Homo-oligomer: A and B are copies of this chain.
């Protein structure tokens, strides 16, 4: 079904917020087999909104709007959609009840404005909202349908997941199944080259590659008559892709590298400590993103100065003087010193040049050393990152640390 996504909100036109709703909905609608033809954004203006709805319906049968469902006077999406599809607003009792309960729970009186949110087109399928005050809706006339969703991304995502997607799935024939593989250590263009014949020959399953912040992902999607057929098609294609680039795949389930590795450490009860120089605590920060990681994570040390490296980790002054702090020797002594101090089964260290300054021809910005002690065995890796920016270098260094742990613990 040809679809337009219409975002309503003057704040978007001012560039005050990034329109993440549209990206999210585009991905989700494409996955369901809807053809997204246009994105539109318009301010809180009923006449211009009406004009865009008319325009969109020339090509499209479905318009999905976000925003403009609030209680204030400039929230006009529902009213405009209702008029465009020749319906009229009536009180929707369940929405009224929900609003009254919400007001009660917050200890605030219902204002005149609030009642507006309980008015719905008479023919609408109303979508209740468990995480905010504005209900959504789907309204049809003949072949044309408008679906209105709230603007705040958290509410929009909730309503998509629990109300709109199930509703749209019923409209579709066939079943969609997909998988997102995540890869580290291969660039998007190399990945495309490896998969080129599969991508060129694709009909179903479809294969799409994405690049993000030093990582890649591949989405394999199939639409078939039954779920079993779709699953089988996706699994067969995933197997083909895995045969070619399996060494780089760390998740078949769209998880972050840090999350995959942290979960493995936790599941296998591997105690872990970390010491960081150039990443300044970002590795420990990412590791502790996982709730419950305290069961295995003992401590992290950010040893920025020579003194801190010597006192906390027992790095030898001679080693620092002879090789500088950014060296494989220091990375080794850091990891081994940490293992001795903490007794953690896995101890990881990193030192290097994050930039923008501090690089030399021999040791350029982007050069890092990662040390890892696991069950008493030490490994040190040198990584030469392309120097994008201090921020990116530090981010990528953290990914490399997780990647090395992933390889070592398997």
Where the two chains meet, the residues of A that have a C-beta atom closer than 8 Å to any C-beta of B are 7, 12-20, 22-28, 30, 36-43, 48, 52, 55, 59, 208, 210, 274, 276, 279-285, 287-289, 291-294, 297-305, 307-308, 312, 342, 354-357, 390-391, 394
Contact = CB atoms under 8 A, between A and B. Distances in A.
13 contacts: A14-B27, A15-B26, A18-B20, A19-B39, A39-B41, A55-B55, A280-B284, A282-B285, A289-B390, A297-B304, A299-B308, A300-B300, A301-B302
A399 to B, nearest CB: 14
A18 B18 contact: yes
List the number of copies, as a whole number: 2
Contact of A208 (B16, B287, B291): B16
Given A19-B19, A20-B18, A356-B291, A280 B298 contact: no
Contact of A307 (B41, B208, B298): B298
Contact of A36 (B13, B210, B391): B13
Contacts of A305: 294, 297-299
A350 to B, nearest CB: 12
B13 A39 contact: yes
Given A27-B14, A390-B289, A40 B37 contact: no
Contacts of A22: 15, 19, 41
A43 B282 CA distance: 38
Describe A's contact surface by its main secondary structure: mixed
A68 to B, nearest CB: 15
Given A14-B27, A299-B308, 20 more contacts: A12-B26, A12-B39, A15-B24, A16-B210, A18-B20, A18-B23, A19-B39, A37-B43, A38-B48, A40-B41, A274-B302, A280-B288, A281-B282, A281-B285, A282-B285, A291-B356, A297-B304, A299-B304, A299-B312, A301-B302
A226 to B, nearest CB: 26
A301 B274 CA distance: 10
Nearest to A20: B18
A213 to B, nearest CB: 12
Nearest to A290: B390
Contacts of A390: 289, 291
Contact of A23 (B15, B55, B357): B15
A152 to B, nearest CB: 11
A398 B33 CA distance: 42
Nearest to A299: B308
B285 A279 contact: yes
Contacts of A294: 304-305
Contact of A42 (B12, B38, B307): B38
A274 B14 CA distance: 39
